[in-house]
Amino acid sequence: MQSLFLRAMKPHVIFLLTSMILFTAGCEDDDHNHDHNEEHTDADGFVLEDGSGIEVYREFEGAVEGAVNLSVGDTLELSVHFLDHDGNEIEHEEEEKDELSVSENDSNVAVVEIEEHEEEHHEMAIHVIGVNVGSTSFKLQLMHDGHADYTSTNNVALIVN
C-alpha cells in the first residue's frame, strides 16, 4: 500500500522540484544593469547652503536641522547637496541626468524655483522668493529618468518675515 502511494506521488514531486529549479534559475540576479550603466543616486539626506556656503537646512536619515528664512521681496539662492549613508556629500557628475523637483509649496507665501543647469555650472540649486509674511514648506525630490531617486522625508520649513 505504501509502495502504491509513493509511486503515485513520484510524478508530482518531480514536477514540483523541476518547477522550483526553473523558477529559481529564471529569477536569478545576473548583475545586469537594466539601465545600461546609468547610475542612480543612493542618498540618505541633503543639505541646503546659501551663497556663502553656510548650511541653512539639513535633513539626514529623517533628522532635520534648520529652516529657510527670508524677508518679503528677497530672493535666496540655495545650493543643494545630497548626502550618502555616512553623511558625506555625494559628488554630482556632469553627465548625470538628475534633476530637482519641488512640490507641496504654498506660492502665496514663497515661490520655490529650480535653477536651470548651465553648461559651466553643474551644481544643483533652488531659488526661494519671499512673497508674503507667513510660513510654508516644500518637499524636495531628486529625479532620474522620470522617477525619484530621493524624496525628502520631511517638508523643508520655509519662513517669510
| 5 compared with 66, residue with greater pLDDT | 66
All structural domains of the chain with their residue ranges: 45-160
pLDDT of residue 46: 97
Which stretches does DSSP call E strand in the chain? 45-49, 55-60, 63-66, 68-70, 75-83, 98-103, 110-114, 125-130, 134-144, 147-151, 156-160
User: Binning pLDDT at 50, 70 and 90, where does residue 3 land?
Assistant: low
- Ranking 116-120, 136-140, 154-158 by mean pLDDT, the lowest is 116-120
pLDDT of residue 98: 82
Query: What distance in Å separates the CA atoms of residue 20 and residue 25, rounded to the nearest whole number?
Result: 9
Q: pTM for the whole thing?
A: 0.71
118: which 3 cell numbers?
548651465
Cβ atoms of 78 and 129 closer than 8 Å: no
Over residues 46-77, the pLDDT tens digits come to 999 999 999 999 999 999 999 999 999 999 99
**45-160 belongs to CATH 1.20.144:** no
Parallel/antiparallel/unpaired status of strands 125-130 and 110-114: antiparallel
pLDDT of residue 60: 97
